[in-house]
């Protein structure tokens, strides 16, 4: 995986999260590994086609997703992962990916992204999870989540 493809997603994640919830993310250690299926996780996929093909999969522990969605709703406390929280997390993933696609375009790499879709990881990868570059992000008191790049 070339840094030219990954850095826009790292930069975009930090910029978008900091502007939306006023928390500066810190990056964990990047690793290539199989995506670990977790209980009580929210999985969201955005497809990439064009100069780079693959998927960006966002893996949020459900409680982290609720905290982020609540912050995106101006502090309104969300207690269950319902349509409102699903919409907020979809928009976060869409903003990160859209911003990254603009950064890639500025480097001469033209891509299109698909709309975000929630996934049932166990059904999707029952034969085995794919390997991905996993980028862990920690959001201080919110907790952390992973951005997984599958090419």
pLDDT tens figures, 129-139? 778 889 899 99
pTM for the model stands at 0.89
pLDDT above 70: residue 126: no
User: What is the arithmetic mean of pLDDT over 89-97?
Assistant: 95
H-helix segments, the chain = 3-21, 62-72, 83-106, 121-124
Is the CB of residue 79 less than 8 Å from the CB of residue 30? Answer: no
| Half-sphere CA count of 28, side-chain side, radius 13 A | 16
pLDDT at residue number 108: 93
Confidence band for 63, pLDDT divided at 50, 70 and 90: very high
User: What is the arithmetic mean of pLDDT over 32-36?
Assistant: 82
Residue 1 neighbours by CB under 8 Å, 6+ apart: 32, 133, 149, 151
What domains lie within the chain, and their CATH numbers?
A: 3-150 (3.40.1550.10)
Residues in the chain: 151
pLDDT at residue number 34: 83
pLDDT at residue number 132: 87
């Amino acid at each position: 995986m070339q840094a030219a493809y990954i850095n826009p997603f790292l930069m975009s994640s930090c910029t978008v999260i900091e502007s939306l919830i006023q928390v500066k993310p810190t990056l964990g250690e990047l690793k290539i590994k199989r995506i670990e299926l977790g209980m009580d996780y929210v999985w969201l996929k955005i497809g990439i086609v064009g100069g780079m093909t693959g998927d960006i999969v966002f893996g949020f522990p459900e409680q982290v997703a609720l905290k982020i969605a609540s912050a995106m709703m101006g502090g309104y406390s969300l207690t269950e992962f319902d349509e409102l929280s699903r919409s907020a997390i979809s928009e976060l993933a869409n903003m990160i990916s859209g911003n990254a696609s603009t950064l890639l375009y500025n480097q001469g790499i033209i891509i299109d992204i698909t709309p975000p879709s929630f996934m049932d990881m166990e059904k999707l990868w029952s034969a085995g999870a794919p390997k991905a570059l996993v980028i862990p992000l920690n959001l201080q008191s919110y907790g952390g989540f992973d951005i997984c790049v599958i090419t």
